[in-house]
Structure 1
Amino acid sequence: MRLSYILIASSLAHILHAQSTIEHKMLDPIYAQAQRESAREHEHANTTTINAQSLQSRQATSLRDVFALDSSVSVGGATTTAQKVYIRGLEDRLYSVNLDNASQYGNLFHHQGNITIDPMMIKDITVQKGVPDAYMGVGALAGSMNIRTKDARDFLREGQKFGALVGLGGYSNQGYRANLAGFFALKNTDALLWVNWSNILGFHAGRGNGGNGEWVAGSANNNKSLLFKLNQQLSEQDSISLSYNGLNETSTAPFATNLAERNVTLFAHTNYNHTATLGYTHKADPSNPSSTQVRTNLYFNQRSIYLKPLTQEADNNHTNDHEEVSSKNIAFNNVGYNLSLSNQFSVFDIEYGLNYQGVFVADTAAPKDPVNRAKESGHIYGGFVKSTYTPSEHFVLAAQSRYDVFNYFDKNNQTHLTQGFSPAASITYIPISSLSFRAGYAYLTRGAMPGDATLLGDSDVLIHKNLRPESIQNVELNADYSGSIFCARLAGYYSRLGNFINSYAHDHDHNDHIHTPGEPHSHGGLRQNMDSAIEVFGYEGGIGADYKGFSSYASIAQNFPTYKGYLLQDTYELGAVSGIIYTLSLQYEIARYHLRFAWLSQFTQRVKYKGYDIYNDETGFIDKAGYSVHNLYINWEPFGAKRLALRLSVNNIFNTFYIAQTSPFKNEAMDPLKPDSIRRAMPSPGIDARFEVSYQF
């Protein structure tokens, strides 16, 4: 029994990473139950876990599809280029995001998203809210997001050593995709090579809810992605892995891809994401479970963006454009090393290790001068320790802490040396095996590091010479129930973010930098810490049932990010406000015929409030329309799993017009909010029927 309680605590707090034989025996039935879109994927209130079958059944092509089931996660922006993830109201840039244990840190462009991966290549995603995983939580303030890609053994059927997969799909609104994979698994070696191509020709917005079904300019994009995985078992305890994931996305769109604009210069957009990881794992000796387990990895990540107007004349004349329009050639590089050692005893587990990360960003298209060198760099040196103690079968105590040093050399030739501890602790009470209550607290710090890369080319945006580290206090109360049929979860949380580094603050001491009509563009800004704290209150909860072939889950979430007593206006690198979000998921499976039907509804309430603008230190009224979106999914595998698969999805089945509430309300951060301001964010797609067929040899 005690091991089962340790497992519950591990899932709740993400603090146990030892992979002993006993743990695998315990985990297998959990994942077996999670093969359907069921309540079992929602067992823990502070954690969201999404697996590959869930994504495949929805034919996910975007982050909006990926996180559709979690009401606490909102995705702003309509195209894959523009989409940003907001978790409990805070932007993913406040989270540590890792792909195959490689950091995806960086902000290439505040009008674009920060997470770029083909959803079909994802094995699973684990989002830890509030307290990050200490191992990969370098510089995290609001939590961590760990993404794992698939490998060969995820494709092969039992007893199969070699195989291939081919798939084709088409979308009515409007596009198509193709994928091809080859893979093999021998006794000690397995490898995968997988190529995907997705071409979205553009889409129409919805007609219902006040829309007219118009074609959305700038909504087309072309994605090519590649995944290579190689795993080698050196011995019973030792293994190495090599992975590479690459994505190339091209589109023709306005400069700001998350805005629907007319009569503006069109740009050629090219985005790349290259991630490579070399990892080594040494498992504990089965005859001595308390022996040391080792996991370590070396990684490289480069994300780059290339923006170029389609005509040379347009490059010199942007009278109808955003003030910040210009050519960009930006590359954000992350290199790093992670080391973790762990030991597991009967009632006590400990993990400890070191991390290094180097961050290098430059805009080679930006003008340079003695004050503005158009590039920045940073180095993070850190270590961590975390442990759990299980004094009885009813209690689990967990504690962890990081210490990190941040060395940032900015574009103005200034060095910022910031550092700090990031401790966290939790206590879990388990009165019965299916019910747990958890209280957690964390104080997390993040030092000054490179910010929005598009500001590298703006010599009128300066960096304050004495940046202080950001810090956040997270408090959370969770209740989780997971029975044989029913499950329920509930979380209430509070966060207080201090010294937030505002990349777009007005420089009130240098008024000559402020842009006025008729002058060349200037943000007139000073990247600096904010004077007051940002507070976030919120809750989320859900209830579900799983009985025979039927499963259901309903959830609700709302959060209130505030500053000086006001809800925030949408804020780049920080957060966005939305109304109450409800989701309802229903699924019925006819196991005999390998046929599954699913229905997903999301309801977002209208939100109208007086919001605070942290860029201009003023308030203004915000009104974001509510909407409901409903999707239907049908999946049929006539010959059983991992053979022929036929999938039909009808997204936005009632053709609703809507703009995601976490899409930006204003065109420009520096623009004041006027009473007659018109929301220019890009609308989401209308009805879209998707059909896909794949066959595995």
Structure 2
Amino acid sequence: MVDRTLARRSGRAAGLGVAALMALLLTPPAPAWSWQEPVALETLEVTATLQKDAAQQRVQQAQRNLAQDMADVLRDEPAIQIGGGSRNAQRFYLRGIEASNLNIRIDGASQGRNLFQHRGATGGLDADLLKSVSVATLPASDQGGGALGGSILFETVDAQDLLSAGRPAGVRLKGSHSSADDAIGGAASAYGRYGDAGLLVHVSGVNAEDYRSGAGNEVQGSAGRDRDYFAKFSLLDRAGHSLRLSAEKNENSGLYRWGAGDGAYDDTATLQYQISERQTQVLDYRFRRPADERVDLRLSLFHNEQSLDNTDANSLTETEGYGGDLRNTARFHLGATGHELTLGVDLYQEEGRYRTAGSRRGGDNQAEVVGLYVQERMKLGPLQLAAGLRYDDYSTDFGAVTVDGDEFSPSAGAELALGLGVTLFAGYGEAVRSSGIIPVQWLASATDTPTFNQRAGKDSFGKGFKAETSQRYEGGLRFEHGGLLRPDDGFEASLTLFETEIEDLIVQIGGSRGAPVTGFYNDDAIEVRGWELRLAWQLRDFRTSLAYSRARAEDAEGQLIGASVGNRRAATTGDRLLWDSFWQVRPAFAVGYTLDALGGLDKDAIDRSGYVLHHLQADWQTALDGLSVQLAVRNLLDRRYSEQTSVGSDSTAVYEPGRDVRLALIYRY
């Protein structure tokens, strides 16, 4: 059934506070395929409520489109561009910054560094397990370490989220097919609750052939097999205590290109059988003392293993990471001001190894960071202020040489409600990281005596070797209003300007085609500037949103950076327009439509064509209790195109899938 809370209340929203009003206006209807949870309004930071609503909206969008992997989950987020084509070559960019420079976590577990050419777990999670996907762009000191360009946080569901009202246990069975890659998928979930405790067990798998691009060409080396196994115990809100324990194993395997997976396409290239795997265990404990808002404690511990096994080449690259975060958020009042003060400590240690022909190549490569942070958020009437400071103590092995140091990174922000639903906001933050964008396989192949900052022609030549740092700026305004066109509608608009500068990116010398890595250097600075415009309007069971985004990545000489040059750094794309609409026609039937348009780009060394794509979605709850049918059609008009974030030109880059008709049967009890 549709949640009509927004539609009924928005006409009375003028009498509410700004935070409550924004939460009401942005809460989307809950279609049958989504899991919705109440929006907490007690936070002092209005932005936090907006981010939480957007996090749930991304999951609903992914489920409407029958997302097949993590790239699919993020594909319709206006700030993110996906490139690469096939699974093993996919890269994604957040506001022009490549994912290697982001803090990416699943249930708090950091996903670590690239294994070979790409991050090991970019595609590694069943989208049906997601509760929320948070894209954090506004800087804050309590968002974790190493987030040079921002953070992307995935949160999985609990058993309690899936249970039907009044039932102590349930099951969910799913069978699916997609036409572009002739993929067959299946999933089974069982979940139950006893008192405050819940248990969820899930298994899923997909077998896919080489997908067909627009105009009917098969993309060699894009077939694969996915398997996901997940279990989660959740004890929620027992005398203020909550405990979550989860374990997951995700595996992808197939015949893929090696090394040049996202380079110029070659349908005669040799394919090698590769297996990528992620295993993650997470403990999440929270305690909120009843009647005392000064105690809101959270402890998160995790263990994460990733591996890439090229069985044909007899090589294995793997990482093992441990980490944790302990924080307390105290909420209190001092006179007329309200405060939300967070104090915490986090740590992360990762060890990477590379073996070829059965023997270890190079030594184990370790990276470690310990961070202390404080984040204050204060509210005084219509004004909200934020200030934070993070201290990082870091060390990273570069061959036989260990580079260590420490750094303070401040952050600050402000929001001012001007009245009539208008809010101004601004933020600034810094970040530091010492491990670079170098894949583990190359890092482990370094010689014992590498050189540092000896790359001729770079600004860093002959200077001291440094950790990477970034400075992020963001600012703009929001407008929210109930009863704009109809007494029971809701409207929200925002305009955001942003700028990110990354300095001293750590890059290697050598490593290509099995050659040893002989040195490291700090690359020249890059800058990404842009803006985003977002509009959303909702009337009862209908919601439509429009987003326009632009991001321009420039090198130190002011030249635009394209995907072919900005490998693992940044990439410029054309302007993007994304229009999405959803209508719950009846309680048992819903439809959706998405327009995705990317402008062409012809400037400096970049010359890439744009595209216009149309996607359709439908959901039907059948007369048989618990059985639903979902349909999603991606690239309805079978457009032949390649993403501008894929390496190459219009004629050489890997083409994306053509028309893809996805059908799923889902049974819930």
Structure 1 length as normaliser, TM-score? 0.82
Structure 2: distance between partners of 1:680 and 1:168: 35
Instruction: Pick the aligned partner of 2:177 from 143, 159, 170.
Output: 170
Q: Residue in 1 aligned with 2:68?
A: 61
Of 278, 300, 307, the match for 2:310: 307
For the structure 1 residues 3 and 278, does the alpha-carbon distance in structure 2 shift closer, same or farther, using more than 3 Å as the test? Answer: farther
Q: Does the CA-based 8 Å contact 2:58-2:77 persist in structure 1?
A: no
Shift of 1:32: 6.2
In 1, the alpha carbon distance for the partners of 2:378 and 2:20 equals 12
Query: Which residue is equivalent to 2:349?
Result: 358
Correspondence 1:547 to 2:539: yes
State the Cα distance separating 1:589 from its structure 2 match. 1.5
| Cα offset, 1:542, TM superposition | 1.7
Partner of 2:255: 252
> Any gaps of 5 or more consecutive residues in structure 1?
12-26, 208-212, 310-314, 316-326, 507-512, 611-620, 666-676
DSSP 3-state at the match of 1:483:
strand
> Do the aligned partners of residues 685 and 112 (structure 1) sit closer, same or farther apart at CA in structure 2, a change above 3 Å counting?
farther
1:348 to 339, 349, 370: 339
CA distance in 2, matches of 1:679, 1:308: 31
1:467-521 deviation digits (Å, cap 9, x = unpaired)? 3111111111121223232211111112222112123x57xxxxxx9x8xxxx86
CA contact (8 A) 2:120 2:308 kept: no
Deviation larger for 479-488 or 239-248: 479-488
1:434 aligns with 2:421: yes
Aligned residue for 2:371? 382
One of 546, 555, 567 as aligned partner of 2:560: 567
| Deviation per residue, 1:237-271 (Å, 9 max, x gap) | 11211011220111112213334323332100100
More deviation, 161-170/77-86: 77-86
Name the CA shift for 1:646/1:462 in 2 (closer, same or farther; >3 Å): farther
Deviations 1:26-74 (A, max 9, x none): x799656465999x99995999524533322110113342123322210
1:561 Cα shift? 0.8
Amino acid at match of 1:493: F
How far apart, CA to CA, are the structure 2 residues paired with 1:88 and 1:599? 24
Matches within 5 A, 1:284-303: 284-285=289-290, 287-289=291-293, 291-303=294-306
Match of 2:652 among 673, 680, 692: 680
Partner of 2:394: 406
Return the alpha-carbon distance in structure 2 between the equivalents of residues 47 and 597 of structure 1. 21
The offset of 1:234, in angstroms, is: 7.6
Q: CA deviation at 1:636?
A: 1.2
The 5 Å alignment of 1:131-530 reads: 131=139, 134-173=141-180, 174-207=182-215, 213-233=216-236, 235-255=238-258, 256-259=260-263, 260-285=265-290, 287-289=291-293, 291-309=294-312, 327-346=314-333, 347-365=338-356, 373-392=362-381, 394-410=382-398, 412-432=399-419, 434-448=421-435, 451-456=438-443, 458-459=445-446, 462=450, 464=452, 467-484=465-482, 485-503=490-508, 505=509, 522=515, 526-530=519-523
**Residue in 2 that maps onto 1:587:** 582
Distance 1:141 1:220 in 2: 33
- Relative to structure 1, the CA distance from residue 30 to residue 186 in structure 2 (aligned partners, 3 Å threshold; closer, same or farther) is farther
Deviation at 1:538, TM superposition (A): 0.6
Q: Find the aligned partners of 1:240 and 1:228 in 2 and give their Cα distance.
A: 14
Asked if residue 602 in structure 1 is aligned to residue 596 in structure 2, the reply is: yes
CA RMSD, Structure 1 to Structure 2 (Å): 3.0
CA distance in 1: counterparts of 2:387 and 2:311, whole angstroms: 49
Amino acid at match of 2:652: R
**2:619 — aligned with what?**
635
Unaligned runs of 5+ in 2: 1-13, 40-46, 454-463, 483-489
Contact kept in structure 2, 1:536 and 1:559, CA below 8 Å: yes
- Aligned partners of 2:443, 2:170: CA distance in 1, in Å? 47
The residue type equivalent to 1:607 in the other structure is L
Distance 2:155 2:383 in 1: 31
SS in 1 for 2:61: helix
Counterparts of 1:366 and 1:198 in 2: how far apart (Å)?
30
Going from structure 1 to structure 2, the CA distance change for 1:308 and 1:218 (only over 3 Å counts) comes to same
**Cα deviations across residues 186-240 of structure 1 (Å, max 9, x unaligned)?**
2121000011111112211102xxxxx2111001010000111101248311121
Task: Quote how far apart the aligned CAs of 1:156 are.
Answer: 0.7
Aligned partners of 1:36 and 1:184: how far apart in 2? 20
- The total of aligned residue pairs comes to 615
Residue by residue over 1:266-319, the C-alpha shift from the partner in whole angstroms, topping out at 9 and shown as x without a partner, is 10010001111012111132x232x3121001101111101133xxxxx5xxxx
Are the equivalent residues in 1 in contact too, given 2:276–2:308 (CA < 8 A)? yes
Q: Pick the aligned partner of 1:128 from 131, 136, 140.
A: 136
Match of 1:613 in 2: none
Partner of 1:673: none
CA contact (8 A) 1:378 1:449 kept: no
The 8 Å contact of residues 112 and 257 in structure 1, kept in 2 or not, is answered as no
Q: Is the 8 A contact 1:569 1:622 kept in 2?
A: yes
Say if 1:355 and 1:491 are closer, same or farther in 2 by CA, change over 3 A: same
Change (3 A) 1:600 1:28: closer
Report the alpha carbon displacement of residue 463 of structure 1 after superposing the two structures with TM: 5.8
Given candidates 637, 653, 666, the residue that maps to 2:636 is: 653
Partner of residue 606 from structure 2, selected from 595, 599, 622: 622
Kept in 1: contact 2:373–2:388 (CA 8 A): yes
Say whether the 8 Å CA contact 1:382–1:405 is kept in structure 2. yes
Q: Distance in 1 between matches of 2:549 and 2:101?
A: 19
Contact residue 116 and residue 439 of structure 2 kept, 8 A: yes
Give the 3-state SS of the residue equivalent to 1:430 in structure 2.
strand
Q: Secondary structure at the match of 1:568?
A: coil
Q: Conserved in 2, the CA contact under 8 Å of 1:47 and 1:128?
A: no
**For the structure 1 residues 333 and 457, does the alpha-carbon distance in structure 2 shift closer, same or farther, using more than 3 Å as the test?**
closer
Deviation at 1:82, TM superposition (A): 2.2
Q: How much does 1:158 deviate?
A: 0.8
| Letter of the 2:240 counterpart | Q
- Residue 662 and residue 305 in structure 1: after superposition, are their counterparts in 2 closer, same or farther (change >3 A)? same
Equivalent position SS for 1:61 = coil
Change (3 A) 1:357 1:51: same
Q: Do the aligned partners of 2:96 and 2:553 also contact (CA within 8 Å) in 1?
A: yes
- Is the Cα–Cα contact under 8 Å of residues 121 and 306 in structure 2 kept in the other structure? no
* 1: CA distance, partners of 2:286 / 2:171: 28
Tell me the secondary structure at the aligned position of residue 567 of structure 1: coil
Deviations along 1:126-152, one digit per CA (max 9) or x if unpaired, are 011141x53341111111111101121
1:576 Cα shift?
1.4
- Residue range with higher mean Cα deviation, 456-465 or 159-168: 456-465
CA distance in structure 1 between the partners assigned to 2:51 and 2:476 by the alignment = 6
TM-score (norm 2): 0.86
Q: For 2:64 and 2:534, how far apart are their aligned partners in 1? A: 22
Residues 579, 606 of structure 1: 8 Å contact kept = yes
Distance in 1 between residues matched to 2:568 and 2:20, nearest whole Å: 35
2:10 alignment partner in structure 1: none
Taking structure 1 as reference, are residues 537 and 233 closer, same or farther at Cα in structure 2, changes over 3 Å only?
Answer: closer
Q: Distance in 2 between matches of 1:471 and 1:266?
A: 38
Q: 2: distance between equivalents of 1:524 and 1:106?
A: 17
